[in-house]
A = this chain, B = another copy of it.
Amino acid sequence: MSSLVPQGELRRIMPAEWPHPADFAAPPSAAQRATWAEADLAARPQRLVRLRERMAQEGVDGYFGVRWEHMRYLTGLPFDESEVTGSGDSGKFLVGAEQVWVIADSRYTIAVKHQAPESTLFNADRQLVDSWAGLLATAGVTRVAIEAATIPHLTWERLVAAAPDVELVPIEGWVEAQRQLKEPSELERVAAACAVADRALATLLPSIRPGVTEKELALDLEWRIRTGGADRLAFDVACLAGPDAALPHGAPGMRPLETGTVLLFDFGAQVEGYRSDMTRTLFVGEPRERDLEVYGLVAAAQDVVFDRLWEDMSAATGGGTVPIGRTYDALARSVIEADGRWPVYGHSLGHGIGLATHELPGLGLRSPEEPLPRRTVFSVEPGIYLEDDIGVRIEDLVILDVDAGRVEVVTRFPRDAVVVGI
C-alpha cells in the first residue's frame, strides 16, 4: 500500500538542501516505452467494446469522432493539439459495429498504417463531406452519434445535406467519461511525466538569479524538460515573479527577477502522450514572514485535501462510495476562508489529466455531482492571489486507486519553502 508523501512542518529549503536531479526517477527507457505501446495495443479492443456498449444503449450504430484525444485513445494515431490546425479532416474517425475508420489525406496515410494498425484507413484527399455518404454506406451506419461540442456547425450542416437519410445524433462526453477511469499503464506514463518535470526544475534551481527575466527562465526550464526525457511540453511554461504570480493566466515577461519576492512556475511534460502538470512557488532571497504565512496556508489547504482523500479512499476500498470531486474543492476553500486573512482562489481545486492536460474528473465548485472514478489521476492546486502583490499556488498530481488502496502524490519535488537566488 502506497501512502502520501510525508507532510511535516513548513521548512525552508536552502541551497545546501535543494533537491538533486538524482532524487527523481530517470527518464523512461526505450524498453519501458515499448511496454506502454504494447499495453495500449492490448487495451484498445476493450476501449472500443465499452464505446460500443454505450452506442447500443443510446441506439446508434455509428460514432463519428472529431477530437484528437479520442482518436488517439481508440486508434493509437498520435495526434495532439499541434495537429488540429492544418490537418483538415485527417484524424477524424468513424466507429462502426465491426471496424474503425480513420480519415487521412496523403500526408498521414503512412502514419495511420504504422501507428493505428487495427484501424482502416479512409482516404480523404478531397473534403470529407464529398465522401461522407460513401463512408457511412460502407460502414452500414444509419444513425450516427457525433461529438457536437467540437464539430463546427457548418460541417454539421454539410454532413446533414450530404447524407439526408442518415440521422445525426449530437452527443458529448461519452469518451471523456470513459477516459477518466485510467488503466495502470496510463498512470505510469503520467507519473513518468511528473518525474521528468520534477527533475527539470531541480536542475534549474542554480540558474534562478536576480536579474534574469521570467521569459529567460521559462525558456531555460522548457529546454531542460524537452532534453530531459519529455516528448513535448504539456503546455507553455508559466514563470511569473512577484505581482505577476497573482495573475492566474500571465505570460512570462521581460522584467528582471528581484530578490525578496516569490517566483511561480506552472509547467508539465508529455511522455508517450501522457502529461504532467505541477506548480511550485519559490522564494527569491530571504522570504518575508507574511509571504511564508500565505504559503503555509496554501500548503495547509492542500494537506487537508490529501488527508481527506486518504480517509475517503480507506472507507471506499471495501466497496464503499467514493466522494464527488467538488467536496474536496469546498474543503480546501474552507481552510482558507476559516483563516480569514486572504481571499480564496477563483479557479477550481483541480482537474483530471491524461492525454489532455485538462480532462475529467473535475474538482471545482461547479463540477458535476459524480463520484470520482475508482482509478484516476488529478491535480490538487489551491492558491492565494493578492493583486499587485504576490500569488502563491502549489499544484501536485495525485493518483487515486481505490481498489488497490492507493492515494499517492506523484509530484515529488519538495513542497517546502524552497529559497533560491541567494
- A positions within 8 Å CB-CB of B: 81-82, 84-86, 106-108, 110-111, 146, 148-157, 170, 172, 219, 223, 226-227, 235-236, 247-249, 346-347, 356-358
Contact = CB atoms under 8 A, between A and B. Distances in A.
Closest 9 CB pairs of A and B: A107-B249, A153-B156, A148-B154, A149-B154, A148-B153, A153-B153, A107-B248, A151-B153, A149-B152
A207 to B, nearest CB: 15
Given A107-B247, A148-B154, A153-B170, 15 more contacts: A81-B84, A82-B236, A85-B357, A85-B358, A86-B357, A110-B247, A148-B153, A148-B157, A149-B154, A152-B152, A152-B153, A153-B153, A153-B156, A154-B170, A157-B170
Nearest to A108: B249
B236 A226 contact: no
A206 B331 CA distance: 57
A357 B347 CA distance: 33
Contacts of A170: 153-154, 157
Nearest to A151: B153
A236 B84 CA distance: 13
A contact face: mostly helix, strand, loop, or mixed: loop
A247 B111 CA distance: 10
Contacts of A227: 219
A82 B251 CA distance: 12
Contact of A219 (B81, B157, B172, B226): B226
B358 A86 contact: yes
Contacts of A151: 152-153
A255 to B, nearest CB: 14
A150 B152 CA distance: 5
Contacts of A236: 82
Contact of A106 (B107, B148, B346): B346
Contacts of A85: 81, 356-358
Contacts of A157: 148, 170
Contacts of A149: 152, 154-155
Contacts of A146: 153
28 contacts: A81-B85, A82-B236, A84-B84, A85-B356, A85-B357, A85-B358, A86-B235, A86-B357, A86-B358, A106-B248, A107-B247, A107-B249, A107-B347, A110-B247, A148-B152, A148-B153, A148-B157, A149-B152, A149-B154, A149-B155, A151-B152, A151-B153, A152-B152, A152-B153, A153-B153, A153-B155, A157-B170, A219-B226
Q: Which of the listed residues A149, A152, A358 has the most CB atoms from chain B within 10 Å of its own CB?
A: A152
A236 B233 CA distance: 12
Contact of A154 (B81, B107, B155, B172): B172
A156 B157 CA distance: 11
A227 B153 CA distance: 40
A347 B86 CA distance: 12
Contacts of A111: 249
A347 B357 CA distance: 33
A305 to B, nearest CB: 22
Contacts of A248: 106-107
A311 to B, nearest CB: 32
A249 B152 CA distance: 24
A155 B147 CA distance: 12
A7 B132 CA distance: 46
Nearest to A126: B366
Nearest to A387: B110
A283 to B, nearest CB: 24
Contacts of A154: 148-149, 170, 172
Nearest to A110: B247
Nearest to A236: B82
A404 to B, nearest CB: 31
A103 to B, nearest CB: 14
Contacts of A148: 152-154, 157
Contacts of A249: 107-108, 111
A355 to B, nearest CB: 12
